[in-house]
Amino acid sequence: MPTQPPASPPPVRKAATSKGSATKASAAKASAAKSVTTRASAAKAVAKSTARTQSPRSPSSQPGGDGASLDRPWGGSRRGGGRRDLYRPGMRSDVERWSLISRLLTWVLSRPGLVLGLTGSREEVALGGRVLHRGVQALIQLVDLLGRMTGSDRSDDPLGGREEFVQLARLAMPVRTDVHVTGRHVPGPDGAPEIAVRVYRRFGVGVGTAVDEHRPSAIVFFHGGGWVVGDLDSHDASCRLLAAVTGCVVVAVDYRLAPEHPFPAAVEDCLAAYAWVQRNHEELGTAPGMVGVMGDSAGGNLAAVVALETRPGRSAHVADVPPPVAQGLVYPATDARLDSPSIHALAEGFFLTKAGMETYRGLYLPDSGDWEDVRASPLLADDHAGVAPAVIVTAGFDPLRDDGFRYAEALQKAGVAVDYRCYDDQIHGFFAMGIIPDSLALAIETCDAMGRLMRRVSSGA
């Protein structure tokens, strides 16, 4: 069983270095046959290497027998071949729409030295052996600079920052244009209002698939925002990306927010929306029973809770609403006590702060007696057996890093298949930071991992 490293020491700043490389390539017609032979040999070598990489490991390094250690990436390096275009870290004008400001920010953050030079922060940021991505470092410095210039600080006023949160989210991500999006309302919990949802389907998905087994799966997505901010608009681009990459029908849920609607209102809304998706597969054109859950941050918390609470024997389980077949948890909050080593070591300086999390917790969970309720802290559940296989993603410079890691460990101990990855150079929120090319590629990779998991469980593999 891998163990989590101890709390990291204070950040160490090292002198930045620059690397340059130049590549020259040439080909001649006379060597075409030799080139083909060389490529064939290389392909065999790659296949042999892959076979070695995927050879069986001991149970302690192979969560749920699914081939990924808790302290290393689940798939190693990105796969080549036909998937390389999927991870291309550049603007794709054929299927993406970028605002002018987003294009400018992407250009700037692709050249982080410009920003870091202006702010006098050229030194790399290293913490616990991890080195912060230069583009992410530049974004942090840029936001800090703009905040000081404008005097804008919403840390003590999360409610006043709701609209700002949506506006910034729209600037940070490209909009996929190859996805059909529709809105509707579904029944809420007993005595509560209807819930607004948004349905995403990549064009061409589900066309001509009258047979159930050929219909696409569904993913119910719960947005992040500390249970206080965020809505369908703030995560629209992320849900479009998820639908485009996975080929699943994505249903985003606009659950009620605190402090107007404190715990457990968000949980109840998410359970109701999930039940609607399960019961209305004919209307959605999805395969019956093939429903996964996914979310980022607070949404990852809600996805984990839905997976736990819909198991047979739990209070939220009903006969016609089976539990999810898969769960995707992106830097999830799993322990409301907020006392992990990473929360203390990364308490400030990387967007999400310990003080900010305590403020949001006070709005969502005003009664400290609820902090250890498993519907608020899924990590504290007595038993995680029987929950859906999971993709769990964390970031190296995220205070919630330990929350995700520990939850992956808890699922593994319960015999649940887990694909875990920590993106060491990223921060909380990278899943929606498409203006940094590498962060966008990692968001795509996360969506692709969820899509692979959905296909695997749908095929019964």
> What is the chain's mean pLDDT, rounded?
84
pLDDT at 170 over 60: yes
How many Å apart are CA 143 and CA 138, to the nearest integer? 9
Of 91-100, 116-125, 232-241, 353-362, give the lowest mean pLDDT range.
Answer: 91-100
Average pLDDT for 86-99: 76
List the structure tokens of 164.
């700002």
Average pLDDT for 169-178: 95
Average pLDDT for 248-254: 98
At residue 318, the pLDDT reads 82
For 318-372, the DSSP string reads BTTBPPPSEEEEES----TT---HHHHHTSSSSSS-HHHHHHHHHHH--SGGGTT
424: annotated active-site residue: no
The architecture of the domain spanning 175-206+215-459 is 3-Layer(aba) Sandwich (3.40)
> Is the pTM here over 0.85, yes or no?
no
What is the percent of the chain with per-residue pLDDT over 90, rounded to a whole number? 70
pLDDT at 198 over 90: yes
At residue 155, the pLDDT reads 58
Q: For the chain, how far is it from start to end, CA to CA, in angstroms? A: 25
Helix axes 134-150, 437-459, angle to 10 degrees: 120
- Of the candidates 133, 223, 281, 428, the residue annotated as catalytic is 428
At residue 161, the pLDDT reads 86
**Greater pLDDT, 15 or 140:** 140
- Of the candidates 234, 297, 340, 439, the residue annotated as catalytic is 297
At residue 90, the pLDDT reads 61
At residue 144, the pLDDT reads 87
| Burial category of 67 from C-beta neighbours within 10 Å (exposed 0-12, middle 13-18, buried 19 and up) | middle
Average pLDDT for 259-281: 98
What pLDDT band is residue 91 in, cutting at 50, 70 and 90?
low
For 147-186, the DSSP string reads HHHHT---TT-TTTTHHHHHHHHHHHS-EESSEEEEEEEE
Q: Where are the domains of the chain?
A: 175-206+215-459
What is the percent of the chain with per-residue pLDDT over 70, rounded to a whole number? 77
At residue 314, the pLDDT reads 86
At residue 89, the pLDDT reads 56
pLDDT at 410 over 60: yes
* Cα atoms in the 13 Å half-sphere on the side-chain side of 172: 22
At residue 212, the pLDDT reads 61
Average pLDDT for 105-118: 92
What pLDDT band is residue 140 in, cutting at 50, 70 and 90?
very high
At residue 159, the pLDDT reads 81
Strand partners, 197: 184, 253
Average pLDDT for 50-71: 35
E strands in 81-230: 96-97, 124-127, 130-131, 175-176, 179-186, 195-202, 218-222
pLDDT at 121 over 60: yes
49: annotated active-site residue: no
Average pLDDT for 133-138: 96
Average pLDDT for 328-352: 97
How many Å apart are CA 174 and CA 433, to the nearest integer? 9
Q: What is the pLDDT of residues 292-329, one digit of tens each?
A: 999 999 999 999 999 999 999 887 788 889 999 999 99
180: annotated active-site residue: no
pLDDT at 440 over 70: yes
At residue 97, the pLDDT reads 94
| Burial category of 288 from C-beta neighbours within 10 Å (exposed 0-12, middle 13-18, buried 19 and up) | middle
Q: Which of 324, 302, 439 is nearest to 390 (CA)?
A: 324
**Greater pLDDT, 268 or 22:** 268
pLDDT at 360 over 80: yes
**Greater pLDDT, 102 or 210:** 102
At residue 14, the pLDDT reads 42
pLDDT at 118 over 90: no
At residue 31, the pLDDT reads 42
